Structure 1
Amino acid sequence: MTFSLLSLVVDAGDPESESSFWHRLLGGTVTRTATHHFLRIDGFPVIVIQHAPGHVPPQWPGGVSQQLHVDLATDDMAGADERVLAAGGTRLSQAGVYASPAGHPFCVRPA
């Protein structure tokens, strides 16, 4: 028996802002339903933004655990910082740690 990764599911109180953020950052296409937004990007598993009423963002570092995070690689750290911020992300530290609009932390590392 083998397994393959079908999707990464992200909870968000506002699926539109969360899926728009990841779409601006990574490209691909977004398909929307009443409760889920499906972001499809070549070479990635599907990222599913799931509507979660009452979603409480992780408080990381120093609070509620981060639950899950994504690492992205880039060959241009300064350009990546600008792109993340322009897409609606928040810088959590100078060490390449950011948060999406729903508060999910992710890291950008040199490729």
Structure 2
Amino acid sequence: MNTTLLSLVLDAAEPDAESAFWHRLLGGSLSTTDSHHFLQVEGMPVLVVQRVPGHLPPDWPDGGDQQMHFDLRTDDPAATDRLAVEAGGRRLRPAPGVDLEQHPGALVYASPAGHPFCVRPA
């Protein structure tokens, strides 16, 4: 038996903003229908953003579970940090204004729909 991961599916009340965020951060090609956006990046499973009216983002780290999260690896944490924030992400840890050179571990963000993800140095 051979089983592979085909796709990762994220819920979002506004799939346009969520898929545009991931497209800007990861590149690839984006195609859309009324209810689903499909981001295809070479070497990765398809990232699907599905429209869920009334979607509530995870209340993490201040509340409940994060439900799931992505770990991304980069060779330039400072540039990836800038891009994530410019694209609509929100830094959760370390706090904005912290010197990234002094904190080389994982940077933690939330996407526009509130899905958490970490950026780790390569």
Instruction: Tell me which interval the TM-score lies in, with the shorter structure as reference length.
Output: over 0.9
* Partner deviation per Cα, 1:31-88 (whole Å, 9 max, x = no partner): 1001000000111100000111110100111312100100000111111111111111
The residue type paired with residue 21 of structure 1 is F
Question: Partner of 2:40 in structure 1?
Answer: 40
Identity value in percent: 61
The residue correspondences of 1:1-111 to structure 2 (distance < 5 A) are 1-94=1-94, 95-111=106-122
Please give the TM-score of this superposition, normalised by the length of structure 1.
0.97
> If you compute each CA radius of gyration, which structure gives the higher value, 1 or 2?
2
CA distance in 2, matches of 1:82, 1:45: 25
The residue type paired with residue 10 of structure 1 is L
The residue type paired with residue 32 of structure 1 is T
Structure 2: any 5+ residue segments left out of the alignment? 95-105
The number of equivalent residue pairs is 111
- Secondary structure of 1:38's match? strand
CA distance in 1, matches of 2:76, 2:29: 24
Structure 1: any 5+ residue segments left out of the alignment? none
- Secondary structure of 2:3's match? coil
Please give the TM-score of this superposition, normalised by the length of structure 2.
0.88
The residue type paired with residue 110 of structure 1 is P
